Amino acid sequence: MGAVLTLGCDMIPKINFAMQQNYIPFIRNLTVGNEGDEDISDVRLTIAFDLAFAKTFTYDISCVPSGKSVEISPLRIILSTEMLFSLTEAVSGTVSFSLSKDEKELYQKDVPVQLLAFNEWSGLAFDPELIAAFVTPNHPEIAKVISEASVYLKKWADTTAFSAYQRQNPNFVKQQMAALYAALCARRIAYNMPPASFEYIGQKIRLANTVLEQKQGTCLDLAVLYASCLEAVGLNPIIIFIEGHAFCGCHLEEETFADCATDDVSAIEKRIAAGAEELLLVECTDMTKENVDFDKSLKHGRDHMNTPGGFICAVDIARTRGSGIRPIPLRLEQALTHLSVETEEYIEEKRKIYPHVELISVGSSIKICKVCEGLADEYPRFAPTMEWDTAAGHAIAKASGAEIYQAGKEEPLRYNKPDLLNPWFIVKRN
């Protein structure tokens, strides 16, 4: 019997930016087995990735004994920050596993993987606690909400200071929660239906600034927004998932659950028992309705727990922070709508040549069209994009007499490269 190598591993079939930022491995427990009747020495494992979303990984195995398996550890796969951050839609990729000896391939297998948009949550099936990465308490828009909420807090508690649990007074915690709820109600946000089965398959999440600017959000968007506000003032929020719905809660005392995520419904039920509440549940979609005060939203939140079999799990945000789950970095998130340092430097150089430089703020693909129409002279892009982000716009540019040049070169963007990440570029008319 000849060399018969096998490979087994646990691989998460979905990868997103939040995983990369929080160092969560998507390939786990990889083993190489030998079903042959002889030991096999000097075996090389190679893991390659199309779309350049990770660096090729190699590992040399000194010997795979006959009839046994070898565990490969540590498995340090380096994901591409730029690639995952640049995705505005999910795309399909491939992970290729191969085992070779003396450059002769003994095993090969391709496994599909889905690369999610940068703001897309992967759902409860894979690391449900990653929802905490989208809770962004340090966003400037959250600070504005807190400022607005302080007016309500002054009215109800005779103070503008959100001091979280310092008073050791559950009623004051409730007043802080109510003030934040009232401030969000005043924003007049509209409710959007979530996609079907979002709690299992995931969904794109509107971050705090998007919900507040667009004035719309799904139940999960609103729960994440409210949790961001609660965490920003020092309270310990939780996000609860039931069949087809998500809402928010908050500990009345400075405590957390034992685990980041729990599917034990009794952990919630015993903390919301009438007369001995340790936890308040808030129906966040009530913020989008008229004349639904905070007490009614608490009743609606509690009512959700009366549905038999409806509870799926709860994620404790403070506990996830203790385990290392961080919010999506604000600096990277802002790059979508704010000028990069390189762009600002480019504009300053143009101002040295031209006395008046006007900036037009529109969506990325529309920027290309503005140049094509002659309504803009140039569009410099010094931030990550992928080939599929520019291909259609590039065709329109060429047809209109414009071109997309690689920054610093008089060469057009190239396509179908091994690495599909675009270099920085400048769109201008010829």
How confident is the model over 276-298, as a mean pLDDT? 95
Range in 98-107, 250-259, 358-367 the model is least confident about? 358-367
Does residue 346 contact residue 270 with C-beta atoms inside 8 Å?
no
The pLDDT-based confidence of 355 (bands split at 50, 70, 90) is low
How confident is the model over 178-186, as a mean pLDDT? 97
How confident is the model over 22-41, as a mean pLDDT? 92
pLDDT value at residue 334: 42
| Secondary structure of residue 166 in the 3-state scheme | coil
pLDDT value at residue 369: 87
How confident is the model over 318-323, as a mean pLDDT? 95
Q: Does 131 score more than 60 pLDDT? A: yes
How confident is the model over 408-419, as a mean pLDDT? 88
Q: Does 365 score more than 70 pLDDT? A: no
The 10 Å Cβ neighbour count of residue 173 is 25
Q: What are the two backbone dihedrals, phi and then psi, of residue 130, each rounded to the nearest 5 degrees?
A: -65, -10
The 10 Å Cβ neighbour count of residue 71 is 9
Compute the distance between CA of residue 259 and CA of residue 257 in angstroms, rounded to an integer: 5
The pLDDT-based confidence of 15 (bands split at 50, 70, 90) is very high
How confident is the model over 424-428, as a mean pLDDT? 91
Range in 77-81, 144-148, 240-244, 383-387 the model is least confident about? 383-387
Which string of DSSP letters, residue by residue, matches 113-131?
A: EEEPPTTEE--TTS-GGGG
pLDDT value at residue 247: 97
Q: Does 331 score more than 90 pLDDT? A: no
The 10 Å Cβ neighbour count of residue 304 is 18
| Secondary structure of residue 231 in the 3-state scheme | helix
Compute the distance between CA of residue 360 and CA of residue 383 in angstroms, rounded to an integer: 17
pLDDT value at residue 2: 58
Q: Classify burial at 62, counting beta carbons within 10 Å of its beta carbon; exposed 0-12, middle 13-18, buried 19 or more.
A: exposed
Which string of DSSP letters, residue by residue, matches 138-203?
A: T-HHHHHHHHHHHHHHHHHHS-----TTTT--HHHHHHHHHHHHHHHHHT-PEE-PPPTTHHHH-E
Residue given tokens 């839609």 in the structure block: 89
Sign of CA dihedral 152, 153, 156, 159: negative
pLDDT value at residue 362: 65
Q: When comparing pLDDT for 210 and 259, which is higher?
A: 259
What strand order describes the sheet that includes 378-381? Answer: 378-381, 425-429, 402-406
How confident is the model over 10-21, as a mean pLDDT? 91
The pLDDT-based confidence of 1 (bands split at 50, 70, 90) is very low
Compute the distance between CA of residue 184 and CA of residue 93 in angstroms, rounded to an integer: 39
Compute the distance between CA of residue 204 and CA of residue 118 in angstroms, rounded to an integer: 8
Compute the distance between CA of residue 309 and CA of residue 377 in angstroms, rounded to an integer: 60
Sign of CA dihedral 366, 210, 185, 297: positive
Q: Which residues contact 391 (CB under 8 A, 6 or more apart)?
A: 415
Sign of CA dihedral 267, 273, 275, 281: positive
Compute the distance between CA of residue 390 and CA of residue 371 in angstroms, rounded to an integer: 14
The 10 Å Cβ neighbour count of residue 201 is 14
pLDDT value at residue 151: 95
Q: What are the two backbone dihedrals, phi and then psi, of residue 147, each rounded to the nearest 5 degrees?
A: -60, -45
Share above pLDDT 70 across residues of the chain, in percent, rounded to a whole number = 95
Beta bridge partners of 251: 279
Does residue 42 contact residue 101 with C-beta atoms inside 8 Å?
yes
Q: Does 388 score more than 60 pLDDT? A: yes
Q: Does 61 score more than 70 pLDDT? A: yes
pLDDT value at residue 389: 83
Does residue 163 contact residue 150 with C-beta atoms inside 8 Å?
no
pLDDT value at residue 3: 66
How confident is the model over 189-203, as a mean pLDDT? 85
Q: In the chain, count of helices (H) and strands (E)?
A: 14, 20
Share above pLDDT 90 across residues of the chain, in percent, rounded to a whole number = 64
Whole-number average pLDDT of the chain: 90
The pLDDT-based confidence of 19 (bands split at 50, 70, 90) is very high
Sign of CA dihedral 205, 209, 212, 215: negative
* Euclidean distance between the first and the last CA atom of the chain, given in angstroms as a whole number: 66
Q: Residue 151 corresponds to which tokens in the numbers above?
A: 């007016």
pLDDT value at residue 116: 93
Q: Which of 366, 381, 372, 301 is nearest to 335 (CA)?
A: 381
* Widest Cα–Cα separation across the chain: 83
How confident is the model over 203-213, as a mean pLDDT? 89
CA 401, distance to chain mean position in Å, is 38
Range in 172-181, 187-196, 230-239 the model is least confident about? 187-196
The pLDDT-based confidence of 359 (bands split at 50, 70, 90) is confident
How confident is the model over 38-53, as a mean pLDDT? 93
Compute the distance between CA of residue 413 and CA of residue 424 in angstroms, rounded to an integer: 9
Q: Does 339 score more than 70 pLDDT? A: no
Q: When comparing pLDDT for 207 and 384, which is higher?
A: 207
The pLDDT-based confidence of 194 (bands split at 50, 70, 90) is confident
